[in-house]
Structure 1
Amino acid sequence: MIRHIVMWSVAGQTEQQRIEARLRVKSAFEGLRGRIPGMRSLDVGIDFSDVDYACDVVLVAEFESRRSLDDYATHPEHAQVRAQLNGLRIARHQVDYVVEC
């Protein structure tokens, strides 16, 4: 199994704009749950720590295989989410690793 973790910082000049951006990112990615072949689970969280080095949103997904993860990267519904969030995410960090069972 592969675990895919992505963290984003979002755009916004005011705190309200950043809150709305976080919620849009969370909602958009949660909409992929159950729609991507090979995706076993998907969880999206919003940071509440408010420390200056924290990211705003995290996605943790598990895939059956590396191939499933690769297919997710080019899946049309995933591409649609990325397009609809264009400009909202200003920084991105990612880690993919094999989960040892």
Structure 2
Amino acid sequence: MSPSTVIRHIVMWNIAGTCRAEKDANIAVLQQGFEGLRGRIPGLLHLEVGVDHSQVDYACDVVLYSEFASQAALDAYATHPEHLRLKAALGTLRTARHQVDYAAPALPRSAA
């Protein structure tokens, strides 16, 4: 893999909640948890969490878009203590999970 190639790791979830307020609270826990990993995982180049606003019946509630410097960095993330702690903390907040990992050209990032 060339230095201008990254591994994109995209995960989408449906989140548990018996009412909209409970679901929104669970989404906030997930969002804050993943955003708290920024700067703590070696090889994690970019991380963003998006919350669905379409609310169409086939949409997932939350998406995690992240980029890793290499497949080895993504593999290390999977077993990193901070990631494992977050996975355990989220437990049953997630009712469905979908994932795609693929190599792609690195996107230019602004300083902002």
Q: TM-score, normalised on structure 1?
A: 0.97
- The Cα shift of 1:100 comes to 2.9
How many aligned residue pairs are there? 101
Residue by residue, what CA displacement relative to the aligned partner does 1:23-77 show, whole Å, maximum 9, x if unpaired? 1110100000110000001000111000000000100000000000000000000
Output the aligned Cα RMSD.
0.7
1:66 maps to: 71
In structure 1, the gaps of 5 or more residues are none
Distance 1:46 1:24 in 2: 12
1:79 lines up with 2:99 in the alignment: no
1:100 to 101, 105, 109: 105
1:29 maps to: 34
Which has more radius of gyration?
2
1:91 maps to: 96
In structure 2, the gaps of 5 or more residues are 1-5, 107-112
**Poorly superposed stretches of 4+, deviation over 2 Å:** none
Q: TM-score, normalised on structure 2?
A: 0.88
The SS at the match of 2:105 is coil
1:57 to 59, 62, 78: 62
